[in-house]
Amino acid sequence: MPVLVMKFGGTSVATLDRIRRAAKRVGIEVAKGYDVIVIVSAMAGKTNELVGWVNETSPFYDAREYDAVVSSGENVTAGLMALTLQEMEVPARSWQGWQVPLRTTSAHSAARIEEIPPDNILQKFDEGMRVAVVAGFQGISPEGRITTLGRGGSDTTAVAFAAAFDAERCDIYTDVDGVYTTDPRVCEKARKLDRIAFEEMLELASLGAKVLQTRSVELAMRYNVKLRVLSSFEEPSDEAGTLVCGEDQIMESNVVSGVAFSRDEAKVTIVTVADRPGIAATIFGTLSEAGVNVDMIVQNVSESDYHGHEGKVTDMTFSCPVDQLKRAEKALETAREAGGLAFERLETQTDVAKVSVVGIGMRSQSGVAARMFQTLAQEGINIKVIATSEIKISVLVDRKYMELAVQALHDAFELEKA
C-alpha cells in the first residue's frame, strides 16, 4: 500500500479532544488505502514545562539527561494517539525513536538525523498494522542514548520519514491553514497560496516565516518530498492547505510570491578595520566560532590613511539575531584584545527589522529591486542594509516602519491577486 506521513504539531494534540480530532483525520486516510506514519509533537506547552523542570533541577545540566527528560513529551502523545486510534478500531502502534530506530549524531539537544531503516515498521505494516504513531523530535545516538533534534525537530522527523519510506506526501498539520503571501496579522490582504516552490519556502522560512522549520524544507527539497501545510481545525478536503513542491510542478509563478519579515534583528558596524586580504575571513570566522548567525553584510568604500592608520581602512556592517548581539560583541572585543583583529570601535543598533521579498519569478524578470526601493522611498522608509540572492531581496529598516514596509510591498507587487 502507498505510505502517507502525517505530522501533528503541539496545538493539534494539545488536549484529548484534539487528539481525537487528529485521529479521525488519520482514519480518513487509512480508509483511502494508505499505510500511515503519524509523527506527533508533545502536547502544547509540555516541552517548555519539561525544560523548566530541568533548569530548576540543575542549572548546569547533563545534556544527555536533558534529552531523556525533554523527549518524554512526545512519547506521551504517541501513546495517547495510538490508544485513540485503537478505540476507533484502526490497528495502530506507538513507536519511540529508539524503536524505529531513528539514528542520529551524538550532539544532544541538536542532533542530526543520519539514518531511518524502514524494515521494522514495514514488517508491522505487512502484519496488519495500519498506523505507526512515531514520537517526533527524538532519535538514538551511536552510544545508545536518547537524543533530541532541536527546534522544529518534529517537522524534520516527518520529512525524514517521508523520504525514508518514499511516501506519496507529507502532510504537516498546524494551527494555520497554509502558507500565506505574508503574515495575515500584519497585512489583512494576505492571500493563502495554493502552491509554493521549495526554494521560495526555504527563503521565507529562513527570513522569518514561522509556518515550517528551515531544516525540514531543506530536507524536503533534497529528497523531493511533497509537503502539504494545512490546518487541524478545518474540514478536510483535497484542496485544503498549501502544497510545497518542485518548481516544475508550478505552472506559472508570480514574480514575487511573498513578503517575509523578522523583528528581532540587530545591526553591527565595525568601524575602521584594515582593508586587506583575509580581514573578512578573520571577522566572520571569529563570529562563526562564537555561534553567531550573520546575515546581511556590507563593506564600505575604503579610505586611505584614515584616522592615522597606515594603508587603506574600511568599515564592515552586518546583521544578526538580536539575541546573539552580546555574543557577537564579546567575540569581536576578545579578538581585538588578543591582537588578532584591530578596529576603532563597534557601533550597534537594535531597533531594526529585516523585510524581504521572495519569488522564483525574479530569475527571469528585472525591475523587482527598483520597484521595491521606490515603494519604500515613497513611504519615507530609509534602507540601512541591502542583501540579495537569485530569488530574494532583503533590506534592513527601522523597526517602527516594519509593518508599513510589509503592507506597502504587498500592495506594490499585488500579492492579493491570484
CA atoms within 13 A on the CB side of 69: 19
SS3 of 146, please? strand
**Closest-CA residue to 352 (of 287, 261, 284, 290):** 261
Q: Does the CA dihedral 164-167-169-175 come out positive or negative? A: negative
- Is position 84 annotated in a ligand binding site? no
Other CB atoms within 10 A of residue 279 CB: 19
Closest CA to 75 of 46, 36, 55, 110: 46
- 9 annotated binding-site participant: yes
Annotated ligand binding at 74? The verdict is yes
In angstroms, the Cα distances linking 382 to 18, 208, 287, 322, 396 are 46, 21, 27, 20, 9
191 marked among binding-site residues: no
User: 211: annotated binding-site residue?
Assistant: yes
- Among 187, 241, 219, residue whose Cα is nearest residue 355: 187
Q: Any known ligand binding at 175? A: yes
C-alpha to C-alpha distance for 373 and 321, rounded to whole angstroms: 24
What is the helix (H) or strand (E) element at residue 161, kind and residue range?
Answer: helix 153-164
Q: Would you say 226 is a known binding-site residue?
A: no
Q: Is 399 marked as a binding-site residue?
A: no
Residue ranges for the binding site for substrate?
47, 74
Residue ranges for the binding site for ATP?
7-10, 174-175, 180, 185, 210-211
Residue ranges for the binding site?
7-10, 47, 74, 174-175, 180, 185, 210-211
